[in-house]
Structure 1
Amino acid sequence: MTKHIVAPLKEFPPDTRKLVEINGRQIAVFNVKGEFHALGNKCPHESGLLIHGQLVGLVESRMPGEYTYSRKGEMIKCPWHGWEFDLRTGRAQCDPARIRVRRYETAVVHGGDIDPDTPPKAAEVFAVRVEDDYVVVEV
């Protein structure tokens, strides 16, 4: 898989998101409390753009009137119809065995001969030496 630069780490602080296009694919990249996640940008229901969705937590219930709330900010809710997807897996909460959005690997890469003036969407990363911190997506 080829690695593509999303942004220098200093320009992608916690609790932000960026939309990138790589090889004609729109990918929504999220920095949730310093942990990076990347998903295909379209909801499989009716193609709502997930980059505009609300980050929510996981609500689970064993019985009526009883629920637990966990994993705050780790689920993305489609802005059109509210379908929720796990940022870690891409799986939908309504039917995780069958419905999902594509998930992409993310990493923070240290160094290399990476020219920060190269357009981030097209740059390939070849780590050579520690120089700067970059966020990359493997496609």
Structure 2
Amino acid sequence: MSLVRVDRPGVVESDDGRRFVALELPDGWRVVDAHCPHNRGPLEQGWVRDGRTLVCPWHWYRFDLDTGECSTSPQHVLGVHPVREIDGQVYADVGDPPRALSWSERLRAHARE
């Protein structure tokens, strides 16, 4: 478990260098991955529609801020991280960093793309 402190809306960074976007909505905070899973668009430049949907500024992919599901293309899912309050401060549990891929895993992943 890795906690990231959320002080204000915008980009927040974990101790290991991963970046996330903190959004303050009327019903509470949401913390999501900083890049769109479709084509790595900068989600801090996106906009929130209907208080529940984040729209990527590059290709207008739409993501549910509660589940991460994409209504534009179901194969893409945005990382949504649980938010909790500890001693009056807001934190997001962004989990452990992904393990590094071996060269053969990288090559296979690149071939699949």
TM above 0.5, yes or no, is yes
- Across the aligned residues of Structure 1 and Structure 2, the Cα RMSD in angstroms comes to 1.4
Q: How many residues align?
A: 93
Shift of 1:95: 3.1
Q: Secondary structure of 2:52's match?
A: strand
2:17 is matched with 24
Tell me the SS of whatever aligns to 1:76: strand
Q: Name the structure 2 match of 1:109.
A: 86
Contact 2:10 2:22 in 1 (8 A): yes
Percent of aligned positions that are identical: 27
1:79 corresponds in structure 2 to 57
Please state which structure has a larger fraction of its residues in strand: 1
SS at match of 1:108: strand
Q: Which has the higher helix share?
A: 2
- CA shift in 2, pair 1:95/1:81, >3 Å: closer
Residue ranges of structure 1 left out of the alignment (5+ in a row): 57-71, 111-132
CA shift at 1:4, angstroms? Answer: 2.6
3-state secondary structure, aligned to 1:73:
coil
Q: Normalising by structure 1, what TM-score?
A: 0.61
**Bigger radius of gyration, 1 or 2?**
1
TM-score, normalized by length of structure 2?
0.74
Which of the residues 87, 100, 103 maps onto 2:77?
Answer: 100
Long gaps (5+) in structure 2: 95-113
Tell me by how many angstroms 1:24 deviates. Answer: 1.7
Q: Find 1:48's aligned residue among 21, 41, 44.
A: 41
**Residue-by-residue CA offset, 1:21-64 (whole Å, 9 max, x unaligned):** 112211011110041111101112221111110111xxxxxxxx
